[in-house]
């Protein structure tokens, strides 16, 4: 198991008391470090990062984010996106880590790379930030894999919130299958079971909406069904995981009832489905620090343990 992260991801500092706080980064790193995971170098080269960003976003988004703090604004695009002087650097660093993970797969044939970064990304639309998210790290990672000839790609999202922006980005495409298991109805309001893509992408989006309070067994059953959906139409050359841990019962935002045992089951299921294909797992939500660290550790242990020689 390798870790791709960067210290600048801690430079996004929302208002005091905001759940998406810098301490999340260390909690997510500690969960992997406890398993003996190896850090890989991550370089933030702004032109290279922006090239990758523009595979998932309109040019206006990074341009606006770069100048937002200097203009005196304290939120960006919506009230749930507070920004600070370091937000742009942190968002760039998050994407740089996702790129480094893909490079590790391409150059060194890594099979499991954990990308503990913030801000998270799966709500970041092509031209607008929302839901604590500025750049869509998971979608960019999938695009990077495809651009390097590593495809098709399966994107699996188990954050408590539906990844509306990732779904929208791949909605009409068949080289990426998007699967989400999430609470519904809930923020951001998307992710109903009848949302299945369109055009060439019809059937390559699958949502498993769950009622509030769902626990380990329900999540495991839904994810197992979703993974069967993927493998029935696609043989992924690589997997990208939007790994959110805010369905944990201790999380202040999720309203669900998962435990570390549930995240172990998720890691095991994804690992078994992926087999020896590479997996890039990118941090999304998870706002109870101790629960986040424990859940990351169990998820990654199960994910990595499923790889056999």
Distances in Å between the Cα of 198 and the Cα atoms of 16, 23, 171, 272 are 42, 40, 6, 29
Closest CA to 32 of 253, 308, 303, 276: 303
Checking if the pLDDT of 73 tops 90, the result is no
State residue 309's pLDDT score: 41
How does residue 70 score in pLDDT terms, banded at 50, 70 and 90? confident
For residues 144-158, average pLDDT:
98
185 upstream amide cis, omega within 30 of 0: yes
Which sequence spans correspond to the domains of the chain?
Answer: 2-305
The model's pLDDT over 236-258, given as tens digits with 9 standing for 90+, comes to 999 999 999 999 999 999 999 99
Render pLDDT for 265-302 as a digit per residue (tens, 0 to 9): 999 999 999 999 999 999 999 999 999 999 999 999 99
pLDDT at 157 over 80: yes
Identify the band that residue 71 occupies on the pLDDT scale cut at 50, 70 and 90: confident
Written as six digits, the tokens of 30 are 């500690």
User: Is pTM beyond 0.85 here?
Assistant: yes
pLDDT in tens, 24-68: 999 999 999 999 999 999 999 999 999 999 999 999 999 999 999
CATH superfamily ID and name for 2-305: Histone deacetylase domain (3.40.800.20)
Active-site residues, by number, are: 123
Compute the average pLDDT of residues 73-91: 95
């Amino acid at each position: 198991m390798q870790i791709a992260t960067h210290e600048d991801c801690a430079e996004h500092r929302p208002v005091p008391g905001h759940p998406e706080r810098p301490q999340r980064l260390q909690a997510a790193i500690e969960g992997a470090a406890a398993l003996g995971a190896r850090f890989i170098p991550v370089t933030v080269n702004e032109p290279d990062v922006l090239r990758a960003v523009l595979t998932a976003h309109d040019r206006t988004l990074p341009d606006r984010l770069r100048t937002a703090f200097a203009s005196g604004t304290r939120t960006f695009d919506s009230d749930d996106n507070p920004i600070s002087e370091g937000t742009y650097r942190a968002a760039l660093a998050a994407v740089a880590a996702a790129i480094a993970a893909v490079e590790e797969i391409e150059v060194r044939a890594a099979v499991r790379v954990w990308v503990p970064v913030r801000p998270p990304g799966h709500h970041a639309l092509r031209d607008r930030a929302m839901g604590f998210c500025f750049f869509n790290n998971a979608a960019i990672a999938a695009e990077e894999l495809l651009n390097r000839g590593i495809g098709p790609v399966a994107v699996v999202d188990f954050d408590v919130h539906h990844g509306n922006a990732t779904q929208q980005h791949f909605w009409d495409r068949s080289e990426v299958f998007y699967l989400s298991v999430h609470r519904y109805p809930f923020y951001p309001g998307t992710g109903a079971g009848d949302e299945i893509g369109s055009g060439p992408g019809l059937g390559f989006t699958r949502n498993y909406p769950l009622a509030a309070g769902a626990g380990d067994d329900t999540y495991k059953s839904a994810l197992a069904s979703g993974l069967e959906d993927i493998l029935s139409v696609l043989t992924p050359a690589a997997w990208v995981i939007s790994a959110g841990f805010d369905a944990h019962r201790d999380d202040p935002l999720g309203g669900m009832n998962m435990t570390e045992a549930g995240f172990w089951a998720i890691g095991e299921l994804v690992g078994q489905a992926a087999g020896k294909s590479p997996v890039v797992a990118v941090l999304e939500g998870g706002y109870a620090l101790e629960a986040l660290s424990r859940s990351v550790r169990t998820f990654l242990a199960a994910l990595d343990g499923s790889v056999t020689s």
